Amino acid sequence: MDQLLRPLSNPQAADAGARGLLQPTPEDLSSLVGGWSGPRPLRVCSGGTSSRAAAAGQWTLDLRRTMGQVTWNPADQTVSIGGGCRMGEVLEQLYPLGRSVAGGLSGWPGVGYVLTGGMGPFSRELGLAVDQLQAVAGVWGNGEPFVLQRDRDQFTAEWRGLCGAAPFLAVVREVVLATQPLRPLWIRTSTGSPDQLPDQLIAAERSDPSTSLQWSWGGDGSLRLLQVSAHKHSGWQRIDGLHQLPPMTPPSPTSLRLHGEVVGLLGPANCEGWRRLLPDLQAQMQRCPHVGCSLSSQQLGNATAAVPIEATSFVHRDATWKPWITAVWSAGDLEGRRCSLQWLNELWSLLEPLCPGVHLAQLHDHLPFHQKELDLAFGPWLPGLRQLKARRDPDGTLPGL
């Protein structure tokens, strides 16, 4: 087992002052986790995009170097993905085979994208990425190895827990996902005024499930829209697959080192509610403390609503929209951090009546609203998750619930 420092792609995690990165082989993983006697909790880096992939004074299990394999399984048309893979790598390796998976808007997240739910432009048609999970292998927080399979284990608490809450319970070394035939996609990018947002939501909700709307309201006041469809539309741009999606927002200047936090919300269709709230939202967006702050969203529904609530830890199956709030500040600017997090909390309070759920794609156990996020993410399933945590990670080796 190596103990080598390797850069993390998230600047905030990279600057966190962690003790170091542990890069165990799959064979070492059980003994390392089960025998861990160092500072708790252990952090896990699969893709390196989470702000809590590393933390001050703590160790990070870095899976990227030793668990980065992607294996195509032609017999059942599934793909085995190592716990250290980025989703973009998976899409790129499947592309020559004419296959794809239910990926998201970006290829940078790791397998944590799947294990926390996994929403993308085709969630309305295919469901969440976690709904495509066929098998998962790793070690529980107590070091006990496991291999769970959908056909055999899907009605167990362990399967349900891993499907949406895995970071609290286990270190996952491999997942197996169903794949779909690769097909050309059509996209349309546009800009507009936030005043148009309620009407855009109405049109999107009435559209065919093979089409979705993603939008981002920037700190500069602009509204950027990205529509993605599996069917040809006149005037739309053709791309070969999700791996060619353009970024939702322009990249930050490379000279700037930014830190940030992201909170994901979930809510049902409520266009008129958005219309009534629009003046307050506009006023709050005008108070953005940093131009990098934003309010964005992607569309759910249809296939995501067809899965029973008790099947996974993603309990908000009635959600049609997932807005996420991004708070940004310059690295080292403590006052900027305070102002941006205050702005995030104020915007969240405005949106909460429309979007009462939380999608816990990033851990915030270092922030005051962590418990609120847990309650709103898992709802009535949270006590069951805590019982599972007590059985599978009794010493709190992984982040707590």
Q: Which domains occur in the chain, in start order?
A: 11-62 (no CATH), 70-182 (3.30.465.10), 185-379 (3.40.462.20)
- Chain centroid offset of residue 209 CA: 21
Helix intervals (H) in 66-174: 87-94, 112-115, 123-126, 150-153, 157-165
Cα–Cα distance, 237 to 362 (Å, whole number): 32
Q: What pLDDT is attached to residue 4?
A: 44
Contact 178, 78 (CB under 8 A): yes
The predicted-structure confidence for 374-387, as pLDDT tens digits, reads as follows 999 999 999 999 99
The beta strand positions in 23-132, using DSSP E, are 43-45, 59-62, 70-73, 78-82, 99-100
Residue 45 to residue 154: CA distance in whole angstroms: 26
Residue 392 to residue 318: CA distance in whole angstroms: 30
Q: In what order do the strands lie in the sheet with 78-82?
A: 70-73, 78-82, 170-178, 133-140, 145-149
User: What pLDDT is recorded for position 294?
Assistant: 97
Q: How confident is the model at residue 47 (pLDDT cuts 50, 70, 90)?
A: confident
CA 87/CA 114 separation, integer angstroms: 9
Q: What is the pLDDT of residues 267-298, one digit of tens each?
A: 999 999 999 999 999 999 999 999 999 999 99
Q: For a pLDDT cut of 70, what percent of the chain falls above it?
A: 97
What is the three-class DSSP state of 261? strand
- Residues 78-101: what's their mean pLDDT? 97
Closest by Cα among 293, 285, 272 to 354: 272
First to last CA, the chain: 29
Who's near 323: CB < 8 A, 6+ residues apart? 264, 265, 267, 295, 296, 297, 351, 355
The per-residue pLDDT for 393 is 98
Q: Are strands 59-62 and 20-22 parallel, antiparallel or unpaired?
A: parallel
Name 174's bridge partners: 82, 137
pLDDT for res 9: 79
CB 322 within 8 A of CB 242: no
Does the pLDDT value for residue 5 go beyond 80? Answer: no
The pLDDT of residue 1: 44
Two structure tokens written together for 209: 């499930």
Evaluate if residue 2 carries a pLDDT over 60. no
10, 53 in Cβ contact below 8 A? yes
Q: pLDDT value at position 224?
A: 97
Query: How much is the CA Rg of the chain, to the nearest whole Å?
Result: 20
> What are the tens digits of pLDDT across the range 212-222?
999 999 999 99
Res. 254 pLDDT band, cuts 50 70 90: low
Quote the pLDDT of residue 256: 79
Torsion of CA 301, 302, 308, 313, to 10 degrees: -30
Is there a contact between 331 and 258 (Cβ–Cβ < 8 Å)? yes
All residues at 6 or more sequence positions from 136 whose CB lies less than 8 Å from its CB, including other chains: 115, 147, 148, 162, 166, 172, 174, 175, 176
Q: Determine the average pLDDT of the residues in 143-149.
A: 98
Q: Distance between CA atoms of 48 and 400, rounded to whole angstroms?
A: 20
List the one residue out of 132, 78, 98 whose CA is nearest residue 314. Answer: 132
pLDDT higher than 80, residue 7: no
Looking at this protein, which amino acid is placed at residue 378? F
Cα distances (angstroms) measured from residue 314 to each of 89, 254, 391: 25, 36, 21
How far is residue 304's CA from residue 103's CA, in Å, rounded to a whole number? 14
The Cα–Cα gap between 74 and 97 comes to: 10
Residue 124 and residue 212 in contact, taking contact as beta carbons nearer than 8 Å: yes
Q: What is the pLDDT of residue 335?
A: 98
Model pTM score: 0.96
Q: Mean pLDDT for the chain?
A: 95
Mean pLDDT value of segment 231-235: 95
- Average pLDDT in the 184-204 region? 96
Question: β-pairing, 145-149 with 133-140?
Answer: antiparallel
Percent of the chain at pLDDT exceeding 90: 92
Q: How far is CA 305 from the centre of its chain?
A: 18
Q: Tell me, what amino acid is at 256?
A: L
CB-based contact 205:224 (threshold 8 Å): no
